[in-house]
Chains A and B, each alone.
Chain A
Amino acid sequence: MVDALVEIHRVLAPGGTLVDARPDSRVRAYAALRNPRGFKRFGVVNTSRLEMANDHASDNAIASAVREGLFKRGRRGRFWHLVPFSSLGELRDYLREHPRFVHRADWIVDSATRKRHSTDQFVIRRAVRYELLQAVRSPRD
């Protein structure tokens, strides 16, 4: 990953901007029912260990590139991203096949409530973080 950041620094004009945006595994994702008033949390969807490790490695790579003086940290933030599903079954199918998340939600509502709403619309609500990094003219240039 650091190799890629060195290469990105090469193709960026001095003062140019690198945008690093990815799901934020430090923030819990939620399985939520969509209703006319908004969202009701039905469960917590945890990130898989592998993806947590990948995210950590990415964080380290960015930190290393900043330490080496290739980039200067700029603005950062987070926004919510909603992945829509037409039913609870569809959300479960998604979790079973998606490598980012563990394959089952930790439900915070009882099974009768889940059954009652099983054909309603659901979302997975997850955080996406971003950071802007400015390319610094390195001593190698």
Chain B
Amino acid sequence: MVSIHMLVNGGAADSIGEVGRHVPSFSSALRPQPLYELGAWGGPSLVSGKRVLDIGCGDGRLALGVAPLATSVDGIDPDAEAIAAAKRNARTAGIRNVRFATGAAQHLPYPGAAFDVVVLSWTL
């Protein structure tokens, strides 16, 4: 059971990441921590017990961050390498309720009304 305090605050007073490590511009390491971002949007209740789709999921930063709260999380991204990394990250983290697929937002490979929440985080 993850505490609400931890989820909202992510253990940090702000969304700062690891200091002193230069990483490529496009790396999700330079994005806010997923639970900090979720906290800003309204908190865990936004995704708790819900089917979530993360469009432009990249290496799974947000999808894997919210997966422990959600019923299921799907992530989709046109970058096959990023999807491979997301799958590796899911395996490493032992998270089983996430699925990742390569694809574009214009042609989503999902049936109608399949999700309760769709996230465009740094995507649109």
Chain B residues with Cβ below 8 Å from A79 are 15, 32, 37, 40
Asked if B20 and A121 make an inter-chain contact with CB atoms under 8 angstroms apart, the answer reads yes
The reply on A102 being an interface residue by CB < 8 A is no
Q: Is the CB of B30 within 8 A of A16?
A: no
Number of interface residues of B (CB under 8 A): 40
B124 touches A10 (CB 8 A): no
Within 8 Å of chain A (Cβ to Cβ): is B111?
yes
Question: Known: A11-B112, A94-B25. Is A18-B105 also a contact (CB below 8 A)?
Answer: no
Question: Using a Cβ–Cβ cut-off of 8 Å, how many residues does chain A contribute to the interface with B?
Answer: 43
Contact B116 A130 (CB under 8 A): no
- A48-80 contacts to B (CB < 8 Å): 58, 61-62, 75, 77, 79-80
Query: What A residues does B37 contact at CB under 8 A?
Result: 21, 79, 128
- A128 CA to B37 CA in the complex, in Å? 9
B80 at the binding interface (Cβ < 8 Å): no
Q: Which of B19, B20, B25 contacts A99 (CB 8 A)?
A: B25
- Once A21-B41, A84-B20 are accepted as A-B contacts, the answer to whether A16 and B32 lie under 8 Å apart by CB is no
- B71: chain A residues at CB < 8 Å are none
B119 and chain A: residue at smallest CB distance? A19
With A19-B119, A21-B119 known as contacts, the answer to whether A84 contacts B112 (CB < 8 A) is no
Additional 6 contacts, C-beta under 8 A, given A22-B124, A80-B14: A4-B106, A4-B124, A11-B113, A19-B117, A83-B17, A85-B20
Q: A residues touching B (Cβ–Cβ < 8 Å)?
A: 1, 3-4, 7-8, 10-14, 16-23, 34, 58, 61-62, 75, 77, 79-86, 90, 93-94, 97-99, 121, 123, 128, 130, 132
